Structure 1
Amino acid sequence: MSTIPPSPAEHGHDRSVGELLAVVTSDVQTLFRQEIELAKAEVQQEAAKAGKAAGMYGGAGFGGYMVLLFLSLAAVLGLANVMDGGWASLIVAAVWAVIAAVLYQRGRTRMRTVSPKPERTVETMKENAEWARHPTK
Structure 2
Amino acid sequence: MSDVTPDGPAEHTPASTAELVHRAAEQVSRLVRDELALARAEMTEKGRRAGVGAGLLGSGGLVAMYGVAAMLAAVVLGLAEVMPGWLAALLVSVLLFGCAAGLALLGRGRLRQAGPPVPEEAVRSVRADIDELKERAHR
The bucket for the TM-score relative to the shorter chain is 0.3 to 0.5
| Structure with larger RCO (C-alpha < 8 A, sep 6+) | 1
The TM-score, its normalising length taken from structure 1, stands at 0.48
> Quick check: which has more Rg, 1 or 2?
2
